[in-house]
A = this chain, B = another copy of it.
Amino acid sequence: MDNNSQEKLEQVEQKYNVRTDLAIEAREMVGEEDIEIKGVEVIVDNIKDIELSITKVNILDEHGSKALNKPIGSYVTMECDLMKQNAPEAHEEIVRELAKQLGELAKVDKDMTVLVVGLGNRDVTPDSLGPRAVSNVLVTRHLFQEFGEPEGDDGFNKVSAIIPGVMGQTGMETFEIIQGIVDKIKPSLVIAIDALASRRTTRVNSTIQIADTGVHPGSGVGNRRQGLTEESLGVPVIAIGVPTVVDAATIVNDTMEELLIEMKKQAKENAEVADMINSFNEQEKYQLIKEVLYPYIGNLFVTPKEIDAVIKRLSNIIASSLNIMLQPNLEFDEITKFLS
């Protein structure tokens, strides 16, 4: 096995063990909901009319971080099945709630310079969430440079935006591009939007996660190798992510798990069968995954067929929330004056 395959094997193994981009899933994987984990705080809220649930997972210390395999910080997950549907009224409510949650997490004040980053590949539909959202974000930084600071008490945020592309298109790590730009324009905040992988098809396209911990290596549909974090960039990084795919290895692994569980149930009084099932080890499972997914092992994703319409809706929700959060002092008609 060459190095490349070895690396891919490791990726797969990570994946079908505890790898998930969502803190809420990491929490679920650790154990039952009602058992407390040291260093992890979970607060759940609901908006009933649109069945929107908001789960805040605060990872408070190293212990919590280890337990959930996620950095210390706050993770807010909004779940609502109407997100992915053609439901303009529900979307308006989601937009306002997301803007509120983002505001609390990002601590956006006036007079900030913000760089919004659309991660992912605009040419692969489920990975195009970030680029599409960014193309609808109101950019204003150049207007200040052109027309000067606006007068009066009201503050304004200077918003800039970039769609860096993916490594296969640029030959550069996304991290290199963003760090170069951050060093040059010195924003006070970076907001990165990305398509994520989920463990469960139920969450696909109906979940938005925001976090104040940035984007970490191996996140996203495209598997970045270096993160965008306050540590690496020198400025706070808010990550906005939506799971738009499930890794194919996850689906395959879950299928086996479910099948084995089902068989155990049926075999409950037959010790021999149970033994055999239990003896079925990880290496054998991995061999099976490899056979089913060959030659694309580690490189296949599962996505719904109507993904184009859904990505359009989700990117509009995210862009609108950012516009509301970042331009709080402007009425719409004032915004107009600034734009050509």
Contacts and interface: CB of A to CB of B under 8 A. Distances in A.
Contact of A181 (B121, B161, B181): B181
A306 B273 contact: no
A222 B307 CA distance: 12
Contacts of A164: 162
A292 B141 contact: no
Nearest to A252: B255
Interface in A266-311: 266-267, 270, 272-273, 276-277, 280, 284, 288-289, 291-296, 299-309
A248 interface: yes
Nearest to A183: B180
A259 B276 contact: no
Interface stretch (A24-32, A38-46, A331-339): A331-339
B185 A181 contact: no
Contact of A139 (B168, B180, B304): B168
A110 interface: no
Nearest to A3: B147
A159 interface: yes
23 contacts: A86-B339, A88-B332, A90-B333, A124-B125, A125-B125, A139-B171, A140-B171, A141-B172, A162-B170, A168-B306, A177-B184, A201-B294, A201-B296, A204-B296, A223-B305, A259-B259, A263-B280, A267-B276, A299-B304, A300-B302, A300-B304, A300-B305, A301-B302
